[in-house]
Structure 1
Amino acid sequence: MKVETAPAIATERLVLSRLARHDVDDLVAMLVKPALYRYIGDAPASAVEAGHRVERWLGGSVDPDLLWINYVARVRDDGRFVGLAQATVRRARASCEVAYLVDPSVQRHGFGAEMMTGFCAELRETLNPVEFIAHIHPGHVASEGVAKAIGLTPTADRVDGELVWRSAVGP
């Protein structure tokens, strides 16, 4: 297995690198935890379902207008898995929809905001999208804080019951 030696994105406490085959076990372990689904809906994935989901992320979008970008975040000091930062980039509109997951075992330490701030800065620099968008479950205070940290503000729009947050100028 080839492990990336240079981080794609480094923050104060984290290293973010493109999702790779060696990250699958950590992602599957996170995706089966019931606590992860408190605000994102759905039931916890089985190990098999989680594995299939990660394989789809590794494979990328089949739609040529959509670019899927997935980065895994780890603690800089010890390599401990923290979570996943995701972006779906619509090339035709130059919009970038972002999402993230923080492993329940390391939540409430500011990792989500730190991970997404570094991730969105990299996206802004490399892709120069015209807008960033996130869908957040109403009342999910942690995700609202992350959205504010990356420069998003709530709109009146809803998608599948979630509030749409947007930034017309990259975070």
Structure 2
Amino acid sequence: MENLGREGRATGRVEAEVIRTERLVLVPQRVEHASEMADVLSDPALHTFIGGAPATADELRSRYARMAAGPADPAESWCNWVIRLREGDGDGEEGLGQGPLTGTVQATISPSGSGLVAEIAWVVGTAFQGRGIASEAARGLVDWLEQRSVRETAAHVHPDHAASGAVARAVGLEPTDEWHDGEVRWVRREAR
């Protein structure tokens, strides 16, 4: 499922697609999601471990537009999703769920000597935490990545963020001895 560049080499370019799990629909992120996501992510407590402050709807629109433009490196892919609860009867318009947006998941995918690798991240709004949403969304993402021949998946988790560590463990990531910007690198390698 890899795209080929001009020289016929694998570029690693991957496009986000709708991912369905038991209770969630991961919808490719669009600029139009910014207003609702600004509300979902408005709690300053979400930034305890990642720093910064909640973004306004305008700041998120700008950020989402940059993300949609993609990386300058044609071998790298930025895949971003919003997490929507599947509530009510049916799956709503275009099969993308009827419930509220609850957070985001993302993957930066790039080639390496052993194939494709992905760095993933997740965030779920405070009002939706404690329901297993982050674990279910991250599990759906990791399964989707493995179907696209991603050989290694990694995430960076603050050592004091127990909930994020639990999500990492739930999707099969294991902590390493590697640190980056005060966070531990967790890795899941393809079963051989």
TM-score normalised to the size of structure 2?
A: 0.78
Alpha-carbon distance in structure 1 between the residues aligned to 2:135 and 2:44: 22
Kindly tell me the number of residue pairs found equivalent between the two proteins: 163
1:89 is matched with 109
Q: Residue 169 of structure 2: SS of its match in structure 1?
A: helix
CA-based RMSD of the aligned residues comes to 1.8
Whether 2:27 is the aligned partner of 1:17: answer: yes
2:3 is matched with none
1:130 is matched with 151
Q: Which runs of 5+ in 2 are unaligned?
A: 1-16, 88-97
Alpha-carbon distance in structure 1 between the residues aligned to 2:42 and 2:65: 15
Highest Rg: 1 or 2?
Answer: 2
Alignment of 1:1-171 (within 5 A): 8-77=18-87, 78-93=98-113, 94-125=116-147, 127-169=148-190
Closer/same/farther in 2, CA of residues 25 and 39 from structure 1, 3 Å limit: same
Alpha-carbon distance in structure 1 between the residues aligned to 2:154 and 2:120: 6
Q: CA deviation at 1:31?
A: 4.0
2:8 is matched with none
Moved over 6 A (4+): none
Contact 2:75 2:110 in 1 (8 A): yes
Q: CA deviation at 1:65?
A: 2.3
Cα displacement string for residues 16-59 of structure 1 (whole angstroms, at most 9, x for unaligned residues): 11112332212233344312211212233344333322222222
Alpha-carbon distance in structure 1 between the residues aligned to 2:85 and 2:57: 24
Identical aligned residues as a percent? 37
Q: CA deviation at 1:83?
A: 0.9
TM-score normalised to the size of structure 1?
A: 0.87
Alpha-carbon distance in structure 1 between the residues aligned to 2:44 and 2:167: 21
Alpha-carbon distance in structure 2 between the residues aligned to 1:25 and 1:143: 25
Alpha-carbon distance in structure 1 between the residues aligned to 2:109 and 2:35: 26
Cα displacement string for residues 65-86 of structure 1 (whole angstroms, at most 9, x for unaligned residues): 2100011111101421111110
Counterpart code for 1:49:
E
Q: CA deviation at 1:100?
A: 0.8
